[in-house]
Structure 1
């Protein structure tokens, strides 16, 4: 079984640091800092109020980093210049280490490896992301608001954030649930289920991943 460990950070940046935060979002990919063991990294913006909106937020960001080992993930959390900047300029900052037990699909050609057995109890996280075909963008976004409303009113959802690599066309959702049962209840019912069925039947995505 793989030893991969992911690090997910969500940040709400202080208003006075908004411009500096946007600059980092735009240019962090050109940084000379290359953490050891990094397999994949995605620096993402967010919708308004950290939600699933076509209107961007200037102060909410997400950073997903995948490492080949727990040792390298821990070193990144301690040493990353971007995370240190977040710590100095955040209203709120949340960072969590994750191992995958179920993976479907790819992200920029990368397929995450399953590195842990399915948990029998306790909280779990879910990351879903998709590259939306331009011709399907309108259809996709007409389905998104009802699913978001359902999510906000669903029992058992502890954290939810809408993030993305690019506005409108490259979107992701990160959630933490109190249990597998709570996540399954949301995923298999209501507006979310209808949106997923429409996306699959309508071939909305050029690439997608569900972890």
Structure 2
């Protein structure tokens, strides 16, 4: 049975550690090399104030790692010198451990596996939406993205939201945590977000995309001034 498990970190680098924070982009995935069970890794930047923005943040960043098992993900969280280094240089630090139950598309050719497609009946879920935006469609995409972000900030049932990406403007992602699947569906299937999704597919905004929903195994820390503790 597939136990593919992802670990997502969100970090706001402390004012006296900005040089160290910038070095994370230069080193990229190199510090994560040879971690047992690691199948996929992305070192990410974030938008201004940690949101989904065309203006990159100078301090907020993150990473997304996928492991072949829950055990290897847990070992990474419990003993990784990488996590300790991030924590030591952070003003805010947040970590989520999640398992996919629904996913379509790919990220740099990598697709997530789902052994159980049913959402949890109770408890929080997470969502990751990422895309490589075609340069010729970027202006149309960002015109739709801002109203969708405004809507998510007002959505009920939202626990956390973060805008991350591999490169400003063209390679973007959104990570969110919700009280339950119903809260996410209510946001996703109406209003500005629904309009943005219809436009994205109808007008081929993306050269590659991935849309994934996860069970939240645990999530804890601070992001955008908000404390999160699950379970």
| TM-score computed with the length of structure 1 as normaliser | 0.96
CA distance in 2 between counterparts of 1:89 and 1:110 reads 30
Are 1:129 and 2:117 matched, yes or no?
Answer: no
Match of 1:103 in 2: 103
Match of 1:75 in 2: 75
Q: Measured at CA, do residues 75 and 47 of structure 1 come closer, stay the same or move farther in structure 2, by a change above 3 Å?
A: same
**Contact 1:99–1:115 (CA<8 Å) still a contact in 2?**
no
> After the TM superposition, which parts of structure 1 deviate over 4 Å for at least 4 consecutive aligned residues?
none
Match of 1:179 in 2: 180
Q: Secondary structure at the match of 1:158?
A: strand
Q: Secondary structure at the match of 1:101?
A: strand
Are 1:151 and 2:152 matched, yes or no?
Answer: yes
1:162-173 equivalences under 5 Å are 162-173=163-174
CA distance in 2 between counterparts of 1:64 and 1:29 reads 10
Q: CA RMSD in A?
A: 1.2
Tell me the alpha carbon deviations over residues 127-149 of structure 1, each in whole angstroms, 9 at most, x when there is no partner. 01001111111111111111111
CA distance in 2 between counterparts of 1:32 and 1:126 reads 23
Q: Secondary structure at the match of 1:103?
A: strand
Q: Secondary structure at the match of 2:137?
A: helix
**Contact 2:165–2:173 (CA<8 Å) still a contact in 1?**
yes
Match of 2:26 in 1: 26
1:35-46 equivalences under 5 Å are 35-46=35-46
Displacement of 1:83: 1.4
Q: Measured at CA, do residues 92 and 121 of structure 1 come closer, stay the same or move farther in structure 2, by a change above 3 Å?
A: same
CA distance in 2 between counterparts of 1:38 and 1:61 reads 20
Displacement of 1:32: 7.0
Q: Which blocks of at least 5 consecutive residues in structure 2 are unaligned?
A: 213-231
Displacement of 1:79: 3.2
| TM-score computed with the length of structure 2 as normaliser | 0.88
CA distance in 1 between counterparts of 2:122 and 2:28 reads 37
User: Which structure carries more strand by proportion?
Assistant: 2
Q: Which blocks of at least 5 consecutive residues in structure 1 are unaligned?
A: none
Q: Secondary structure at the match of 1:85?
A: helix
Are 1:57 and 2:37 matched, yes or no?
Answer: no
